[in-house]
Chain A
Amino acid sequence: MPKQGPSRASVFPTTDWTMVGRAGKRGGAGHAQALNQLLVRYLPALKAHLTRHMGIPPDQADDLLQAFVTNKVLEHDLISRADHAKGRFRTFLLTSLHRFVIGVARAEGAKKRCPSQGRFVDPEKTLPLLESAPPSADALDLEWGRAVLTECLRRMEAECEKKKRQVLWAVFNDRILSPALEGSEPLPYEELVRRYGFQSPMQVAAVIAAGKRLFRQKLYDVIAEYARSQTEIEEEIQDFQRIFGSTGNQTRSDSRT
């Protein structure tokens, strides 16, 4: 299984369905690399889905994903059956994983009389949950959105560092990011002026607005790497806003900046 972690150069390296096509052609040029990139991109969200939304402990989720990749993705060429006309690739993966976990849970149930054998899932807890409800695309989308935002912020910070715009990143962090993530108060205006030496409110406004613009640009950039059109980018953002319960003008009581 590919290494999972946030320190990669890019989690969203190229257009999604192009990569899916290459990953689905066993023996084709770039097959192994495309498959590896796809797994790097999607497995963290799938794992989060298993742990957060299906209640499977993290170490067992890793084992399940390992088995899913080995049995379904590698041995049964799962990726070659993905069809972009039928919807999002991540929904296809989620549905496949859901079926796989049901199969594993049933097999574990059949092995109940052999307690010495290790279990991927607890069939008594997991099977009723899995069989009573279809896989929740929203739950996976939530994890996917989390990954997209993480990547977006990583790129924004990296660009600020590279272009020596550390003040922009710091102000964005002090006024917007920390309040949103930690529920803290935005850095008070007077402290902002003192800390960064702003000469006028217009200068402060310009830096805050530039930070927001850069964040928006990075968000679009990240989504554009797997969406196929401007319309799909807009739809993806709308979907994230729906899933995160944001409306486009909602703020945490007093977190307007």
Chain B
Amino acid sequence: MASTRDLSRASVESLGLLMNIASAGQHLWRPQEAGAVLRHLLDASLQPLLAAGHAPNVPRLMNAAARLGLRTIRDLLHHPSPPVELLRASKQFAKACIDHSDNPVPKEVAFMLYYASIVAARLRCNCRITSLPDTTLSEGLHWALRQTWLDDETRALIAAGLENFTGQTV
């Protein structure tokens, strides 16, 4: 571990990097970590989605999730008939992450959850939970499929969504 007394030999560049910590708007994430963060997010409990205040009647949703055996965000996205309210909460959570200046998850990961939630609602609940026009949505899904860090399971979901929304196959 670096000692706090090491600064006597620190370069001016290093001191500059430390001073930058005092500035707002610093990134929390490294670009190459998107895949690892997405995997971690998918395996995280549903609780943060509900605790963020984007879902109505949280106890009822938690009960619904428990009845269906949904523990993680991955479980939610890939369940054959998930509660659509939970997918709305997931989409809203992702949107809040995109808009948040400190990015509690990397923006690209938040976008991935955003699109995956929309697609899962459409495919599994036959429900449109976005007001995005199809062309915009299609661009977003194409973007998602171009990401090399995307896991196979989510890639298959997004590809199926693209076909459903636009008739295009990958």
Contact = CB atoms under 8 A, between A and B. Distances in A.
Contacts of A178: 1-2
Interface in A179-211: 179-183, 186, 188-190, 193, 198-202, 204-206, 208-209
A257 B45 contact: no
B12 interface: yes
A146 B17 contact: no
Contacts of A149: 7, 15, 18-19
A39 interface: no
Contacts, number: 149
Interface residues of B, number: 41
B17 A189 contact: no
Interface in B21-45: 21-23, 25-31, 33, 36-37, 40-41, 44-45
A142 interface: yes
Interface stretch (B84-92, B100-108, B125-133, B155-163): B100-108
Most buried by A among B13, B18, B106: B18
Nearest to B26: A212
Contact of A206 (B26, B31, B44, B104): B104
A255 interface: yes
B149 to A, nearest CB: 12
B105 A205 contact: yes
Most buried by A among B2, B12, B29, B36: B2
A189 B33 contact: yes
A254 B20 contact: no
A121 to B, nearest CB: 22
A186 B28 CA distance: 11
Contact of A201 (B10, B17, B40): B40
A183 B15 CA distance: 12
A216 B22 contact: yes
Interface string B101-127: 011111001000000000000000000
Main secondary structure of the interface of A (DSSP, over half): helix
Bin chain A's interface residue count. Answer: 35 or more
Contacts of B15: 142, 145-146, 149, 240, 244, 246
Given A153-B4, A200-B44, A180 B105 contact: no
Contact of A182 (B2, B5, B105): B2
Given A190-B36, A250-B20, A251-B20, 10 more contacts: A142-B15, A150-B8, A156-B4, A157-B4, A183-B14, A200-B45, A201-B41, A201-B104, A241-B16, A248-B25
24 contacts: A6-B4, A146-B8, A153-B4, A173-B2, A177-B2, A180-B21, A181-B10, A201-B40, A201-B105, A205-B28, A208-B28, A212-B21, A237-B19, A243-B12, A244-B19, A245-B13, A246-B17, A246-B20, A249-B23, A249-B26, A251-B20, A255-B17, A256-B29, A256-B30
